Amino acid sequence: MNRIPSQLALFLILAISLSGCEKKAEPVKQQDSPPVATSTVAVSDVRPVGTPDTGFDINRAPVANPQLGKFPYVGLIEGYQRSGGDYNKDVAFDRYEFFDGVKFITVEGRLMTIEAKGKGASAYQVFKTYEALVTGLGGVKVYIGTAARMQELKLAFSDKRHRFPFYSENEMGVYVLRTPEKEIWFEAYVVTEKEGPWPYFLTVIEKQSLEVKAALLPAEEMKRELDAKGHVALYINFDFDKADIRPDSQPIIDEMVKLLKNNPGLNLTVEGHTDNVGAPDYNRRLSDARARSVVAALMARAILASRLKAVGHGQDKPIADNSAEEGRAKNRRVELVKM
């Protein structure tokens, strides 16, 4: 009589156990869960590109392989047109500073800046438009914010260009696209003025090395031009916005030393010249500092100071049309003039 209830109890225990297993195997249904975003980028390829302390690190940026059109690769927002202002430029080689929220990143290469005039787009729309374009190609956002962050860090652009006058309310969006062959930087910059609508400036620079196109002028050729014309133009490379002579221009200094040592009766004025990009007074000071830097380099090689004089003319004496980069390159020169 007692065995039947025991068997029944065992059966009930087994049934309850199996029922519990089935419930655990059923998927849990989550209520009101957000849709999951999908991406074609593998998890292992999603990497941080910097830290709050050190800022952006290009070496940690993802490498993309998009189909690119012609430089500058992106256009203007609908309703905006390129102005005819002096800020517009397309140069084969230049230098530009980008702010990443912590520091400046300097990039050299082919550069284009476009002043886009129109109305209707907020600064936020401008930045999000170019963020979408660049990230759509596989690039990344470097920084979006105001210039107030730079002032907090006590930083200032060494070459302001269209970023002058400089207000803490100015806003900028910086992006970069890294491919196996190229490194392309983008900046959308809005200069905040008292009255709108405000234009925005689109700058694109494709990182490249300088292709040296100027041939070395031997001392003998310098002497022939000095005798025939009284002056000779030389193209010496300086650090950007500075008077420091770059190492690749040392052979030119060597030939100048040879010229002066082979002709002890020759006295020279070293004249610095610039193109018309930037403020005239600033260009004059920069050209004077560069001329004095050349004189100092010659004096360091035992050339007497009494044989040399430094003068900076800035942009006042162009020898070519400043409206094109080829002409501006010719105007950025140092001339030796017989005294």
Instruction: Check residue 213 and give its pLDDT.
Output: 62
pLDDT of residue 7: 47
- Rounded to an integer, what distance in angstroms lies between the CA atom of residue 136 and that of residue 138? 5
Q: What is the pLDDT of residue 188?
A: 97
* pLDDT at residue 212, as a whole number: 64
pLDDT at 49: 60
Q: What sign does the dihedral 151-152-158-160 (CA atoms) show?
A: negative
pLDDT tens profile 250-277: 999 999 999 999 999 999 999 999 988 8
Give pLDDT < 70 ranges for the chain: 1-52, 193-196, 212-215
- pLDDT for 2 equals 44
pLDDT (tens digit, 9 = 90+) per residue, 4-21? 444 444 444 434 443 444
pLDDT at position 196 is 64
Q: Which residues contact 174 (CB under 8 A, 6 or more apart)?
A: 98, 99, 100, 141, 142, 143, 144, 185, 186, 187
Q: What is the pLDDT of residue 278?
A: 79
What pLDDT shows up at residue 314? 94
Predicted pLDDT of residue 33: 30
